[in-house]
Chains A and B, each alone.
Chain A
Amino acid sequence: KQEVTQIPAALSVPEGENLVLNCSFTDSAIYNLQWFRQDPGKGLTSLLLIQSSQREQTSGRLNASLDKSSGRSTLYIAASQPGDSATYLCAVSSDNAGNMLTFGGGTRLMVKP
């Protein structure tokens, strides 16, 4: 059974810092990995999708990498801003689990002005 872990569970940084969020998964047989942002009381917003054949994806200040063989992904946020404060979730789509997305527990990020 696929398991996804996110470290750290919570992170507080001053504005302007570059930061890295980590995601690991136990079964490397994945279709893709997706990073989401969730604001309190809101739905999930898709940030980046990395296909299993890709190594990284970039969108603005966000860069996500994927090392499928080692079961790891990182989300890099450059020059963090208070508006980046949210919970960040990673999820993998596994080819042995049909269409199911398996989610990590999330990293709750607070960026202080």
Chain B
Amino acid sequence: DAGITQSPRHKVTETGTPVTLRCHQTENHRYMYWYRQDPGHGLRLIHYSYGVKDTDKGEVSDGYSVSRSKTEDFLLTLESATSSQTSVYFCAISVSQGGAEAFFGQGTRLTVV
């Protein structure tokens, strides 16, 4: 298994509360990504990072922010959780852009009630 740890693995939170999901890697890969997986929509990119403090938006970034202060950690924050953000969130890493193999974490199941 690629050295990717997501925490927490499961979380239930109330609408309007802030939530932070953590992705930790031990591979020293430059690129890190956050995807969400929903029935009928598949996996979609939320944000990605191409280095410490370097991040960019993906396809479905509204309502989410990210931070990367160390190579090994990539945080995803829902500033004010909504029911539409109930999903399974996956972190992924790759050593470089375009052409490099991507490796995924085990996922975080988030339920917003």
Contact = CB atoms under 8 A, between A and B. Distances in A.
Contacts of B25: none
A104 B106 CA distance: 19
B103 interface: yes
A99 B48 contact: yes
What size tier do the contact residues of chain A reach?
20 to 34
A76 interface: no
Contact of B90 (A43, A51, A52): A43
Given A98-B56, A101-B45, A105-B42, A42 B97 contact: no
Given A43-B107, A99-B48, A100-B59, A49 B101 contact: yes
B2 to A, nearest CB: 8
Interface residues of B, number: 26
- Interface residue SS majority, chain A: strand
Contacts of A104: 42
Contact of B104 (A43, A52, A98): A43
B102 A34 contact: yes
Given A43-B90, A44-B90, A101-B45, A95 B98 contact: yes
Nearest to A53: B99
Interface in A68-113: 89, 91, 93, 95, 98-101, 103-106
